[in-house]
Amino acid sequence: MKLKIAIQKSGRLYDESVKLLKDCGIDLKNGVNKLKTESDNFPMEIYFLRDDDIPQYVEDAVADIGIVGENVLYEKNKKVDIVERLGFGKCRLSVAVGRSEQYDGVGYLNGKRIATTYPLLVQQFLEKNKVDAEIHEISGSVEIAPGIGLAHAIVDLVSSGSTLLANGLKEVETVLQSQAVLIRNGRLDAEQQQVLEKFLFRIRAVKKARNNKYILLNAPNEKLQEIIQMLPGMKSPTVLPLAEPGWSSVHSVLNENDFWEIIEKLKDAGAQGILVIPIEKMVI
Ligand code: PRT
Ligand code: ZN
């Protein structure tokens, strides 16, 4: 038995999806065609597909699991379950209008025409906000629609915002925050379920490691208590004496989000020789 996973064939999710498998210790066979391959060291078969097709393939159990953006998942509205948010492919689905428009809230959209490749999500957004607007579905280059007179507003994916800026548009509402997620078919048998659990265990260890850093520093003994208070560690920090009397080496784990703030406090408290090292895997 091999667990079949569908990932994007090429595009914005491809590199990170392959990297996730690799970081989970799942080696892919090279030299097989680009439609599918398998792993030498894990019971997994990998299908490379258009991202738009992945929810359907997983619903139909052609693939057992898949990696896809939430934006695509919710738009396609298929019967699959989200197993885990993966922390990459982050973007938002937003409403944008011409930069010089006087936008005064969602009511602005009443009677307007909105161009998008996400008609279902836009319809749900309009219904939720009790707005009556016309949805104009197009298949790409949505950002040019207002400029050529095709629509008054657009709903499209945004990450840095530079595409909107380059097209004279401004972002005015967020319809959805999105990231890549692992989805599954609801009818896996016991053996498939077991392989999925194993894969998930590894994904969670990789995610934890990505969110944390290993930190080593030297501290004068009289400042040790103060410095230890700042470092939670997995249980508590490790403290080892240095060869030089009166000094200790402190080892701990820091969350990425608190990183810069804590580093500054540590320096102010007298810590020296601070080293920060990426963690490869983390199992707690
Ligand atoms: O060929 P296939 O159908 O598989 O790929 P695709 O062309 O449909 O999708 P692709 O590869 O562009 O994106 C895959 C997924 O990446 C999306 O479904 C999102 O979940 C995620 N993602 C993250 C993004 C972006 N960020 C993103 N910025 N997808 C698209 N964009 C586009 C956006 O449409 C706009 O054109 O980038 C532009 C905006 O970017 P900024 O940085 O200028 O704001
Ligand atoms: Zn696509």
DSSP the chain: --EEEEEESSSTTHHHHHHHHHHTT-PBPSSS-SSEEEBSSSSEEEEEE-GGGHHHHHHTTSSSEEEEEHHHHHHHT-S-EEEEE-S-S-EEEEEEEETTS---SGGGGTT-EEEES-HHHHHHHHHHTT---EEEE-SS-GGGTTTTTS-SEEEEEESSSHHHHHTTEEEEEEEEEE-EEEEE-TT--HHHHHHHHHHHHHHHHHHHHHTEEEEEEEEEGGGHHHHHHH---SSS-EEEE-SSTTEEEEEEEEEGGGHHHHHHHHHHTT-EEEEEEE-S----
Least confident of 28-32, 211-215, 265-269: 28-32
Distance from Cα 26 to the centre of ligand 1, integer Å: 26
- Point out the ligand nearest to the CA of residue 159: 1
CA angle 226–228–231, rounded 5-degree value:
120
Atom from ligand 1 closest to the CA of residue 90 = 23
For residue 153, give the amino acid letter: A
pLDDT at 103 > cutoff 60: yes
Average pLDDT over residues 211-228: 95
d(CA 25, CA 23): 5
Convert the pLDDT of each residue in 29-76 to its tens digit.
Answer: 886 568 999 999 999 999 999 999 999 999 999 999 999 999 999 999
Atom from ligand 1 closest to the CA of residue 51 = 4
Average pLDDT over residues 149-170: 98
Atom from ligand 1 closest to the CA of residue 180 = 20
Average pLDDT over residues 242-246: 96
In this predicted model, which residue has the larger pLDDT, 176 or 234?
176
pLDDT at 33: 65
d(CA 63, CA 57): 6
Q: What proportion of the chain, given as a percentage, has pLDDT over 90?
A: 93
Pocket (CB within 6 angstroms of ligand 1)? 8, 11-13, 50-52, 69, 71-72, 89, 91, 156-163, 178
pLDDT at 28 > cutoff 70: yes
pLDDT at 131 > cutoff 60: yes
pLDDT at 31: 62
**Bridge partners (DSSP) listed for residue 95:** 155, 173
**Bridge partners (DSSP) listed for residue 253:** 214
pLDDT at 170: 98
pLDDT at 32: 54
Least confident of 27-31, 78-82, 248-252: 27-31
pLDDT at 48: 96
pLDDT at 235 > cutoff 90: no
Distance from Cα 160 to the centre of ligand 1, integer Å: 11
pLDDT grade, residue 256 (50/70/90)? confident
Distance from Cα 157 to the centre of ligand 1, integer Å: 7
Convert the pLDDT of each residue in 178-204 to its tens digit.
Answer: 999 999 999 999 999 999 999 999 999
d(CA 47, CA 51): 11
